[in-house]
Chains A and B, each alone.
Chain A
Amino acid sequence: MSENKLNKEQLLLDLLKKKFILNESAVRRAKRVEVKVDPKEIIPVLLYAKENSRYISFAHMSCVDWIEDGEFEVVYILWNPEDKINLFVKTRISRDNGVLPNIDFIWRQANTYEREIREMFGIQFEGLVGRQEFILEDWEHMPPMRRDFDTAEFVKKTYFKRPGREDAKDVREFVQERTDEELPDFAKKYSRD
């Protein structure tokens, strides 16, 4: 895609740059513009996009657990039906007790997303009204979409294995037992999983 074809995208970016403090920003490709902001900038940026830049439609909202960094990344994806551009607004908050502003007064359907993210990741949205339980029922463990929630471990503890499959063998170990190979412990993390 040539430079001048990305006119509209660049225009939007310049506008946002002038108005707000952006931590990072880029035209990702045609129809995709991305900005990263601090949590406190979320409402101003979203409102500005909706009221002044015709990003009137709320397309998606998602959360990613970056457990290594101790952070959640929340992304708001907006849609401008005239320019046909998706704007990504990303922000990061602490995994421990990060709080985000509630935005369902800007787009009512954001309420559904926020309820899900609250339930699945444990992020609180300031002022969010709505039933606590959404998808889960009587859930008493940590919010399950956090990466430290180990599904396999949970399954092992919660359910029993179907009987009759105990005779399964691991191919690598089975062949190894036929020889005198001794696999050192530090190498095992490279064995097939």
Chain B
Amino acid sequence: MAFFDLKGLLSPVTGLKQFGKKPHTIMFPDVAEHASDRYRGLHFNKLEDCIGCGNCSTICMNEAIDMIQIAGYEGKKGDSGLRPRVDNGRCCWCALCVEVCPTGSLNLTKDYIFVTPDANDFLWTPGIDNKEKGEENISFYSDKETSLSDYSRVPMRELDGDVRIQSFAEAVLGYNEEEARKEASRCISCGLCTESCPDHMHIPEYINAIARENDEDALRIIYDNNPLPEMCGKVCTRRCEDVCAMTHRGDAIAIRWLKRYATETAKNAEIIKEIVNPEIKEANGKKISIIGAGPSGLTAGYYLALRGFDVTIYEAKAKAGGMTFYGIPKYRLPAESLEKQVGYMQSIGVKINFNTRVGKDIDFKEIYNNSDAVFMGVGFEKPWTLGITGEDLNGSLQAVTYLDVINGGGDMEIGDKVAVIGGGNVAIDAARVARRKGADVTIVYRRRVEDMPADWEEIEGAEDEGVHIMPQGIPIEVIGDKNGKVTGLKFARAEMIPDPDGGRPRPKQIEGSEEIMEVTSVIGAIGQEGDYSFIPDDMKNQIKIERGRFVVDENKQTTLPKLFAGGDSANRTADAISAIADGFRAVKAIEKMLMK
């Protein structure tokens, strides 16, 4: 190359032509740079949608997020009451917190200019510190599609409706190992569910144990405060699932089915013996009597026996389980399953005196005086009647009576066309049992289908099996023939009147809409109540009963110090898990009272 390279000297000078061109730069702050629609800037949290699950805080790999209490946000079931606060000095705007937020309340915004002389200002609470500018500036968000929360439940395999009605075989088949692991791994372990479980089971922990492929530990954790998990795994009302963080955009974790999986994998294994049969404390010489072998009584019996108490249960019927045996149909909870669990209890020393009705076969006072403490788990045995004419006819009966007979191994003539009255789980159970007995079944319910208190899965199950549901129907009279045999049900149509106080709409009978449905029997399922006639009158005065239930404190203690009560006859939630929780709490209180 020549020393004097003309082109090489002139070419760069052509750059001068750029002079006078419009500059590429902009003048800040006169013209502010507009951030893109996906910009990952400062956080914004819709505080009302946030449930304080803390998933943002656990995914943040910079530990930038704290969950803190904020004035005006009280915790409630399904909401911890905590809200995220971001340390903007640590945040790297990866937006993982946004991607894993199950409700979608947490977002990033276009706002990115944040200057302050005080480092403490970097700690700020999205949604509070940018209340005004936040919402309209939202840029990076996660919707159901992009979110890293897994909103779809692993479907449960079950028998088809037309196969199901052929027999009382269990309808739900249970998860296999692969399905269970997959379902368990959806859980974000926030633990909000534990507050809604009446028994406060250690849900995130046992689910995590399943996810980590340790089913034995899962079962151990479950047995810590629930001795009837196989039953709960099949029929629990699962209040926990109602508040699962995933419900905000998808399906709750199948907590119940996972519990069922944990109990079923250990079915015949040695491990179950070790788990249900841990170190039993040495006998302490205290005698406890329990009335009723329903879930509350059994639970109290089991944990008291483990703690070294001498436990005797008095049960009026031939089988243990109370309503879970005589009420819940066998296609949901097979008899063997329940018997096995009761067997475990007997094996650790719980004595059950069957066919012994307190107040008839044995005196209440005698039991009371001979025991250091008494627990009553007597349930609600007496069904309510509809209170309309014709109920004394042959063919008009109550659901719990009908189920009691069928579950007890007997049978009852109901004919081939049945009307079931009510909208709860008991109504559905009676209807589905009647279907299995070959009847054509219609459920008559006062309100709309969406108002039915029964579990949605139960309603769907019933429909699959061919049960008809007639909503907005008000029964007026049961009609019979000369022989006193039911032939029909007179009912009227109802319209829904909005409640001015904002409650659910009320049904109002439409004038002149009466019709008659031809039926062979009418099954009422509108509720039960307790029968406390076994308590002598002089003692009844000292035991406070309100609206048909024993009044108990948080220790399940009645107004008589030695007397405890739980289950349907003492709580308002009236399901198995509440009964179990009551039994467990009573155990702790009895232990405290007697062993101090």
| A interface residues with partner B (beta carbon < 8 Å) | 162, 164-165, 167-172, 174-176, 178-181, 183-184, 186-188, 190-193
Contacts and interface: CB of A to CB of B under 8 A. Distances in A.
Contacts of B120: 164
Contact of B69 (A169, A187, A192, A193): A169
Nearest to A186: B220
Contact of A187 (B212, B221, B554): B221
- 3 pairs of A and B residues whose beta carbons are closest in the complex: A168-B66, A192-B189, A181-B200
B191 interface: yes
Contacts of A180: 200, 554, 585
B123 A192 contact: no
A147 B52 CA distance: 34
Contacts of A191: 189, 191, 204-205, 208
Interface string B206-238: 101100100001001100110000000000000
A188 B81 CA distance: 23
A183 B202 contact: yes
B194 A190 contact: no
B202 A164 contact: no
A107 to B, nearest CB: 36
Contacts of A179: 194-195, 200
B224 A187 contact: yes
Given A162-B87, A171-B192, A190-B217, 12 more contacts: A168-B67, A168-B68, A168-B85, A172-B190, A172-B194, A174-B80, A175-B191, A175-B195, A176-B191, A179-B195, A191-B189, A193-B58
Contacts of A181: 194, 200, 202, 225
A187 B194 contact: no
B250 to A, nearest CB: 20
Interface string B39-73: 00000000000001110011000000011110000
A192 B194 contact: no
B532 to A, nearest CB: 27
Contacts of A184: 202, 221, 224
A171 B190 contact: yes
A175 B192 contact: yes
6 contacts: A167-B69, A184-B202, A184-B224, A186-B217, A192-B191, A192-B208
B443 to A, nearest CB: 36
B194 A175 contact: yes
B561 interface: no
Contacts of B57: 171
A137 to B, nearest CB: 25
B220 A171 contact: no
